[in-house]
Structure 1
């Protein structure tokens, strides 16, 4: 069964599970800081050599593919139950979302459900308001919400926040295979780059741009929804927290930056609901519905939106 909107977090189970083990913690640092270092080195690396249309095309494809795995799969489906899917689609979304390298699916879903249960209050794993409202406190909070929280060894208790996921043998299997999908998402661009250009150098540049740089860019776009979209932007809908819409992030985040409506109505399959608010993830869900791959999609209605609208 997929999750419902009842992410209250209320229950006898503790908020945190066992701490992250030593080697996974080291892996977390590696898969965040190494791609980020690659991103910093991208500009001087690109000048005059080491970047071609094959690299750009592969980076764009894998970025879009894995980003939708997170937005459509990990977020709107697994965390919030915005629609129902058959087994093949369910497993496929779990695999593609894992290839974004934002952590195993059980950790991701548990963290995000906890975020909604305690949004911008004590217990929220990544609120930028965790340290106060002064300029210094907000600067510290922005760092914490953007990426500092990822380095915390305390793991959200999946038994409390994602028991439905733990009960699914397919999802537990994909969760255990996170190392495999990490290898696939980094080596597949290199393999394709080498085959398309028929050169080792093509494999190296594709690994750099469509592998490391692409992963790092997607990390920071996702984290920007946690940080920027709880500080800056407009709030046309009523929510219990400070979630905002921030249009400059809308395309790169595949519609996730229409964050205010999402927090006002978490199970909605569409986040961008006003004229001009492009929501690529919602369009993909719409296509899945047309093909019969998903059912019971929770589309927003005019009546629901009118009820949620801010005064």
Structure 2
């Protein structure tokens, strides 16, 4: 006997599928490997080059600035604003956050949001695009799963449906434009540090070292810190709040992740604008949102509710 299709209760219509019918092709996977692998290779050269004349204060300053801007583009922009609507942003800030997140080279904004919303819908269960528990819970399966959650899932040909998981962003013409600009923003993420390095030192060497440190090295650091939230923060750490998955808090990732590694609270209360809510839990992204609010650029910020936190507290 044929099974009747599942209907979406609010509308009575067939729900859209989670996955788009077309899969990522070989060319797209090659580009993913190129733009994630080449910056990673720079790490092998970073230590010997730092001992020579290939690292100066201009390089350090530019790397720090571009790291903060692009990492916050992911944490404050892609994650807390676009994915979870933790705050409303004035139109110039909204566009700037989409641009900054794109320059982290983790994918176009609408794709990233769709993937992350699907992750929350199925967190650590079948359907989660990057759970480390995908293959089981013994040490061999978990080792394989952590690699999958950290990096391997990027090469999965399945594409999350943007129409199902991000219709609000597809309806935003400005964000769709930023989505289309993604290749140009990838180029800018490399070229801007080189240009500034060259101008600040007035030399070709300054441009080259800035490209290396504030371009290649910075990008791979942002990548692997972000992906560590997928892998490490769903495997190790402490559980301070009740969540329906295996999300955990990892204190030593808090500063490089700008507060994203307080991941247990995030999964317990996904729309909360602050993830580090307990004493001593540094959350740089929350401070950035606080500054935006004070400047009048962000409104309707969903700050922690003490009663809701107390109800979810464990231990």
TM-score range, shorter chain: over 0.9
| Whole-angstrom distance in 1 between the partners of 2:51 and 2:298 | 45
**In structure 2, distance between residues paired with 1:300 and 1:161:** 25
1:36 and 2:40 matched: yes
- Alignment equivalent of 1:124, drawn from 107, 124, 128: 128
Q: Quick one: structure 1 residues 73 and 11, their matched pair in 2 at CA, closer, same or farther if it must change by over 3 Å?
A: farther
Structure 1 residues 11, 245: CA separation in 2 closer, same or farther (over 3 Å shift)? farther
Contact 1:82 1:298 in 2 (8 A): yes
- The 5-angstrom pairing of residues 255-274 of structure 1 reads 255-274=259-278
SS in 1 for 2:53: coil
Deviations 1:219-269 (A, max 9, x none): 000000000000110001000000000000000000000000000000000
Match of 1:14 among 7, 17, 39: 17
Shift of 1:21: 4.0
Corresponding residue of 1:170 = 174
Unaligned ranges ≥5, structure 1: 1-9
Question: What's the CA shift for 1:22?
Answer: 4.0
* Pair 1:218-2:234 in alignment: no
Distance 2:277 2:203 in 1: 46
**Does residue 200 of the first structure (1) align with residue 216 of the second (2)?**
no
Return the offset for 1:45. Answer: 2.4
Q: Which of residues 158, 162, 171 is equivalent to 1:158?
A: 162
Query: Once the 2 structures are TM-superposed, how far is the Cα of residue 183 of structure 1 from its aligned partner?
Result: 1.1
Deviation at 1:47, TM superposition (A): 2.4
1:25 CA displacement? 2.5
Q: How many Å apart are 1:11 and its aligned residue?
A: 6.6
Q: Following superposition of structure 1 onto structure 2, how do residues 12-91 of structure 1 map, counting pairs within 5 Å?
A: 12-17=15-20, 18-91=22-95
206-215 or 147-156, larger mean C-alpha shift: 147-156
Distance of 1:52 and 1:193 partners within structure 2: 10
Q: Structure 1 residue 180 and structure 2 residue 184: aligned?
A: yes
Selected match of 1:228 from 212, 220, 232: 232
**2:213 is matched with which residue?**
209
In the TM superposition, residue 79 of structure 1 has moved relative to its aligned partner by 0.1
Paired residues of 1:255 and 1:280 also in contact (CA < 8 A): yes
Report the alpha carbon displacement of residue 20 of structure 1 after superposing the two structures with TM.
2.3
Report how far residue 124 of structure 1 moved.
Answer: 0.5
Find the residue that maps to 1:282 and give its secondary structure.
helix
1:286-301 to structure 2, matched below 5 A, reads: 286-301=290-305
Structure 1 segments (4+ residues) deviating >4 Å: none
Alignment correspondent of 2:97: 93
Greater C-alpha Rg: 2
> Compared with structure 1, are the counterparts of its residues 11 and 209 closer, same or farther at alpha carbon in structure 2 (3 Å cutoff)?
farther
Output the TM-score relative to the length of structure 2.
0.94
Distance in 1, matches of 2:105 and 2:248, equals 25
Rounded to whole Å, the distance in 2 between the matches of 1:173 and 1:25 is 23
In structure 2, what is the Cα distance between the partners aligned to 1:72 and 1:253? 11
Q: Distance in 1 between matches of 2:280 and 2:246?
A: 22
